[in-house]
Structure 1
Amino acid sequence: MKIRFVGTRISRVLVGTALVVSGAGCAASSGGHAVAAAGRSDAAGGRGTVVSVTPVVHMSRAQVRAYLGGEGLASRPRGGVSGFKVLYRTVSATGRPTVASGVVVLPSGATGALRAVSFTHGTHAGRSTAGSVAADGQSRIAAVYYAAAGYAGVAPDYLGLGEGPGAHPYLDAASEASASLDMLRAARAVATRQGRGLERGVLVTGFSQGGQAAMALGRQLQSGTDPYLRLGALAPVSGTYDLRRAQLPASLRAQSSLDSRVSAFNLAYATVAWNRFHHLYKTPSEVFQAPYDTTAERLFDGSHDESDIFPQLPASPEELLTPRYLNWLKHPSGALLRAIRAADGTCDWAPDVPVRLYGASGDEQVTFDNTRNCVRTLRAHGTRPQVVDYGTGAGTDHFATLHRALPDTLHWFQTRT
């Protein structure tokens, strides 16, 4: 069995796209149908209430080892795992009731309460690559990985991805956090129905966009928003923590170390998503050059994945965006500044739990200045986070940080619990 990335080599350099497993039989499904109302973890019908549960993963210990080993993840699974697609109640980016989906994977056979590991995934443009839907999605792989080590692997799809309705509010930290917190509430109900409980302390990690989401979720957990769940440890990976002062300048800089094609993709996605909530433009031609002004919004409607989108975008932000909009991105104000602020600030607090940030100064998609700036902000609040820099050279590209950090975060969590 060989693990590969979806589509062409271009799609390989997307920020956090799905890792795909090729080869039949690795993620054997238990089949079955949706189980409605599997339990309630909040007020009746409220946030975190489970709408349905569908079995999607059932693997023996040997199958888990083959599945993860094919992905290059050495593991010694304690046993098999069982996983479920969960549809649950949450709130939209504008605070209205909605539903979202995610995946919960539990170790098989054992008894007693489990420690939950929340994994928030990197960027997905297509809803079908989310972990609750794709048997080979990035977040399902991560959830299986942590469950195989004896934890409850919990992975939200975010709003508008997987089976959640509407458009995904890309890089909106508040909705990432609320959907992730409500996913944990739903996971607690699912675990209870399976005869297991979840411990109060949640171990939080995430990759790329999910690194940002992990920081936002950690803050929510520490704030005491939920009377049962609390933050146990925080270990985000290669996160986009600082768009305004790190990611955007690096994406727009001449001779940047970042991959310009990836930067064009990310900026297109963000622009379309931001316009839905912050109203950046009246017509696409104000921000996108022809012919992309006629195609960009359609490409990011949730029905296209990265392998569809990349061939239809140019090789750089300069070819994609109008001069006026490029200048606005360099000097944000008004609606654009509000959109950026809705993404930034996730490091502007003082965690009272162990914190370790992972990344690579050689990352070609998310500049390591994001991590440096996050560390600086955390230290200003009196927190002393540990930092793992995988450096430069071979094995330090964006996806390599995920491959390396999954076992590293697991080992670190095991020493903290």
Structure 2
Amino acid sequence: MTSRLTKTVAGTLATAALLTFPLSAFAAVDQPTLSEAAVSRVHAPRGALVSAVPVAQLTAAQLDAAAVDFPGAPKSAYDVTAYRVVYRTIDHDGRPTTASGIIVLPDGRRGALTVAEYLHGTNPTKAAAASVDPASTDRLVTALFAGQGLVGVAPDYLGLGVGPGRHPYIDTKTETTASADLLLAARTFAARHGVVLKRDVLVTGFSQGGRASIAFGRALSRGEVGPFRLGEIRAVAGPYDLLRTELPAAFDGRLLPATASFYLAYLVTAWNRTVGLYDDPREAFQAPYASTVEGLFDGSHPGDEIVAGLPDSPEKLFTPAFIQRLKHPEGRLLRAIQSADTICRDWTPRVPVHLYSGTKDTDVVAANADACAASLRARGANVTVHSMGPVDHPGTAFAAYPEIIRAYARHA
């Protein structure tokens, strides 16, 4: 395995590893306790706050120092405190469960504040989630919004952080409900600190979170998240068009083969639990991977360990018959992909939508942004596609987030 491959999959895909900064920047990090993570109060409503513990405190100067790899990021105006929260939500089948996430408050600010909700990219490891990992870039980005005077909110999604079970990867339903229910929990939590959350929510996300932010924006626009409504969307490098763009790119050379192997292994094992793609792993995966691939994505393995357990191309991972299913989906797989792709096709945003892409992105090809923009514009939406130039997947985030933080700071 090359160092570049490790960086591409274990770092690029899991945004928690996009950059490294001193762990001391996040002070007094608490590890989750069993009681904190437990599924409790089963009959509590969605969005009910189960627990909240402080996990980090940063001065404005520490935030600025940590943001060195985000060139052009605006200087922070506030010290911030980050809290890990556990809250009530539902799983893919609508059953009660819990999830974790972070809420970051600007120190000293009270009254009515605007929320910037950040949705993270692909992460296969519970311990790498923003609510747990002190070196998480997702935690940093959320804190940078709070440093501008906003309330930063970031869900771990289901099955990551201290949430029970496995993560249902690229599951629009639970990405949306986990994001919505954390926002409701944040309203309760903020009130305890003298903060009232304004109605209009600023939404952003990277990679998996880029597409999730479009879906979450759709729910906000339809009035599905309590009193909140959509203020703006700025989505970065998201796989918005699976059927016509991202899946074909996994096999035609536009995605690095090893990267495609990682993404597809995660997607297929996750969708088998929610959609039902095979009865026996040997129907989808070749030996020896059929006996190990599901275990790699149980949430306990770091990205580099997963990469080491996978081959360097989808053709070596999947059976020939399953490769054909992925190239030419039909039946329940096709229906699931088509349902996932509705995020850009079945609603009309009434607020500005900004999509960011990089021309050298070999994880999520830039054509995804163009496809989503075309679909939304056809419905009358105001969509701007920002090409960040010849940058790869993490480079797109490094280039885009200074602009996004600056843009959202105007709402503070």
Q: Compute the TM-score of the two structures, normalised by the length of structure 2.
A: 0.92
Which residue in the other structure is 1:373 paired with? 371
1:298-326 deviation line (CA, Å, top 9, x unaligned): 10111112111001111111111111011
Query: Which residue in 1 is equivalent to 2:301?
Result: 304
- Match 1:404 to one of 388, 392, 399: 399
What corresponds to 1:166 in structure 2? 165
Counterpart-to-counterpart distance in 2, 1:85 and 1:72: 28
> Closer, same or farther in 2 for the Cα pair 1:22/1:409, shift >3 Å?
closer
Partner residue of 1:336 out of 299, 324, 333: 333
Matched letter for residue 167 of structure 1? R
Q: Does 1:79 align with 2:78?
A: yes
> Per the alignment, in what secondary structure is the counterpart of residue 25 of structure 1?
helix
Instruction: Please state whether the residue corresponding to 2:187 is helix, strand or coil.
Output: helix
SS at match of 1:53: strand
Residue number in structure 1 paired with 2:381:
383
- Structure 1, residues 214-236: CA drift from partner, whole Å, max 9, x if none? 00000000101134111001111
* Cα displacement (A) at 1:71: 6.1
> Take 1:399 and 1:18, find their aligned partners in 2: how far apart are those partners?
10
CA deviation after TM superposition for structure 1 residue 413, in Å: 2.5
The amino acid of 1:404's aligned partner reads: A
CA contact (8 A) 2:74 2:405 kept: no
Residue 224 of structure 2 aligns with which residue?
225
- Cα–Cα, structure 1 residues 30 and 305, in superposed 2: closer, same or farther, change >3 Å? closer
**Separation in 1, partners of 2:238, 2:32:** 36
- Give the equivalent residue in structure 2 for 1:363: 361
Give 1:11 deviation, angstroms: 2.5
Partner SS, residue 225 of structure 1: coil
Q: Which moved more, 1:348-357 or 1:22-31?
A: 22-31
- SS of 1:102's equivalent in the other structure is strand
> 2:281 matched to 1:284?
yes
How many residue pairs get matched?
403
Q: 1:10: how far off?
A: 5.2
Q: Distance in 1 between matches of 2:299 and 2:214?
A: 25
Q: Secondary structure of the residue that 2:343 maps to in structure 1? A: coil
- Residue 193 (structure 1) shift: 0.9
- Residues 145, 409 of structure 2: 8 Å contact kept: no
State the one-letter code of the partner of 1:274: W
- Specify the code of the residue in structure 2 equivalent to 1:213: A
Matched residues in 2 for 1:390 and 1:226: separation?
32
- Alpha-carbon separation, structure 2, partners of 1:71 and 1:23: 15
Alignment partners' CA distance in 2, 1:113 and 1:5? 45
2:107 is matched by which residue type in structure 1? S
Higher share of residues assigned helix: 2
| Other-structure match for 2:120 | 121
With over 3 angstroms needed to count, the CA separation of the structure-2 counterparts of 1:245 and 1:306, relative to structure 1, is same
Which residues of structure 2 form unaligned runs of 5+? 37-42
- Are residues 20 and 389 of structure 1, via their aligned partners in 2, closer, same or farther at CA, if it must alter by over 3 Å? closer
Whether the 8 Å CA contact 1:6–1:19 is kept in 2: the answer is no
Q: Is the 8 A contact 2:110 2:193 kept in 1?
A: no
CA contact (8 A) 2:16 2:129 kept: no
Q: For the structure 1 residues 10 and 212, does the alpha-carbon distance in structure 2 shift closer, same or farther, using more than 3 Å as the test?
A: closer
Alpha-carbon distance in structure 1 between the residues aligned to 2:225 and 2:355? 25
Counterpart position of 1:40: none
Distance in 2 between residues matched to 1:108 and 1:73, nearest whole Å? 23
**Percent of pairs with identical residues:** 42
Is the Cα–Cα contact under 8 Å of residues 13 and 121 in structure 2 kept in the other structure?
Answer: no
SS of residue in 2 equivalent to 1:372? helix
For normalisation by structure 1, the TM-score amounts to: 0.91
* CA distance in 1: counterparts of 2:225 and 2:73, whole angstroms: 35
Does residue 148 in structure 1 map to residue 147 in structure 2? yes
Per the alignment, do residues 32 and 257 of structure 1 end up closer, same or farther by CA in structure 2, a change over 3 Å counting?
A: closer
Q: 1:67 Cα shift? A: 2.2
Q: CA offsets per residue over residues 182-230 of structure 1, 9 Å max, x none? A: 1111111111111111111000000000011100000000101134111
1:240-272: per-residue Cα shift (whole Å, max 9, x none)? Answer: 11111110000012xx12211111000000010
Superposed displacement of residue 111, structure 1: 2.2
- Show the counterpart of 1:245: 244
Q: 1:46-85 counterparts in 2 under 5 A?
A: 46-69=45-68, 74-85=73-84
Q: CA deviation at 1:110?
A: 2.0
Given that 1:53 and 1:85 are in contact with CA atoms closer than 8 Å, whether structure 2 keeps it comes out as: yes
Q: Please say if residues 32 and 162 of structure 2, whose CA atoms lie closer than 8 Å, have aligned partners that are also in contact.
A: no
For residues 265 and 30 of structure 2, the distance between their equivalents in structure 1, rounded to whole angstroms, comes to 38
Match of 1:206 in 2: 205
Letter in 2 for 1:371: A
> What is the identity, as a one-letter code, of the residue corresponding to 1:235?
R
1:110 aligns with 2:105: no
Between 1 and 2, higher relative CO (CA 8 Å, sep ≥ 6) is seen in 2
Contact kept in structure 1, 2:150 and 2:409, CA below 8 Å = no
Quote how far apart the aligned CAs of 1:65 are: 2.0
Offset, 1:101: 0.4
Question: Are residues 67 and 73 of structure 1, via their aligned partners in 2, closer, same or farther at CA, if it must alter by over 3 Å?
Answer: farther
Corresponding residue for 1:100? 99
In 1, Cα distance between equivalents of 2:289 and 2:202: 41
Question: What's the CA shift for 1:61?
Answer: 2.1
CA apart distance, 1:362: 2.0
Q: Hey, what does 2:40 align to over in structure 1? A: none
Contact 2:11 2:303 in 1 (8 A): no
